[in-house]
Amino acid sequence: MLTRRSLAISALALPLAGGAHAQSPEPWRKADRLYTDDFTQGLSDWVIEAEQPSKASALNGVLELDAPAGLTAWFKPRLSGPVLIEYQALAVYEGGRNDRISDLNAFWMATDVRSPDDLFASPRTGAFAGYDLLKTYYVGQGGNYNSSTRLRRYVGRPGDRPMLPQHDLKDARALLQPNRWVAIQLVAYDGLVQYWADGRKLFELRDQAPYASGWFGLRTTWSRLRFKDFSVWKLAAA
């Protein structure tokens, strides 16, 4: 149930000193919780874009995406930073035809250059190339058959998905494990962009021209994923 209460990875995006594993105190803290979905009331707060017929359900506290090809589930509200998006995710490996252990992916602060004020005015088919027209932050965790985890800053140009070399991780600790819940946190805080998995900061960058508002989407391809405990928080200075 939805409730409401109350930054080109290019010359513009500069990595912080210390890289992805810097341990300095974070400048942000959670303030107000803006949204939550307990996944007991169906998919009324989500828009599904699927390349091929897929299964998406939100029942008994779990959102499940079972897809033979590309699929994105967009959260309907537009988010304005600074925000933290958090949820738990699990890559299912139970013998199903789509149980591949790959592609726990996400877009955040996303807008479409064709319709910047309304993401849904320019629908996509679910095919990955269709998202090149977004301006967004994107992480693909366990992509390419669970062999890489990558951060990109999309710039809204076809075929252009910029990525800094240090944002292509092969470390097993950054990949997926089957049938294990992992706590994910996405940060957009005044030009500071971070991606956390189980309390470990996998990516951090400073964006000199940050994406300060936009939409959030869960993305996968040929996999079966489950999600729970979804919340969006307003951030304040620590």
pLDDT at 65: 98
Distance CA 228, CA 123 (A): 26
* Whether residue 179 has pLDDT greater than 50: yes
Reported as a single tens digit per residue, the pLDDT across 7-47 is 333 334 433 333 444 456 999 999 999 999 999 999 999 99
**How many structural domains are present in the chain?**
1
Please check whether residue 136 is in contact with residue 211, taking contact to mean a CB–CB distance below 8 angstroms: yes
Q: Which residue has the higher pLDDT, 204 or 5?
A: 204
Contacts of 48 (CB under 8 A, 6+ apart): 54, 56, 71, 72, 73, 74
pLDDT at 22: 42
pLDDT at 6: 34
The Cα-based distances of 47 to 21, 50, 65, 146, 161 in angstroms read 34, 10, 12, 26, 24
Distance CA 50, CA 56 (A): 10
Reported as a single tens digit per residue, the pLDDT across 149-169 is 999 999 999 999 999 999 999
pLDDT at 24: 66
Residue 178 β-bridge partners = 91
Residue 226 β-bridge partners = 64, 90
Give the residue among 197, 193, 222, 204 at the shortest CA–CA distance from 83: 193
Secondary structure of residue 145 in the 3-state scheme: helix
Burial string for 100-129 (b: 16+ CB within 10 Å, else e) reads: bbbbbbbbbbbbbeeeeeebeeeebebebe
Reported as a single tens digit per residue, the pLDDT across 112-130 is 999 999 999 998 999 999 9
Strands 192-197 vs 3-4: parallel, antiparallel or unpaired:
unpaired
pLDDT at 123: 87
* Whether residue 1 has pLDDT greater than 60: no
- Domain holding 56, by residue range, is 3-237
pLDDT at 5: 36
What is the rounded end-to-end Cα distance, in angstroms, of the chain?
29
The Cα-based distances of 10 to 86, 191, 212 in angstroms read 26, 14, 17
Reported as a single tens digit per residue, the pLDDT across 43-93 is 999 999 999 999 999 999 999 999 999 999 999 999 999 999 999 999 999
Q: Residue 22's domain is classified under what CATH number? A: 2.60.120.200
Reported as a single tens digit per residue, the pLDDT across 130-150 is 999 999 999 999 999 999 999
pLDDT at 4: 41
Structure tokens at 66: 């079972």
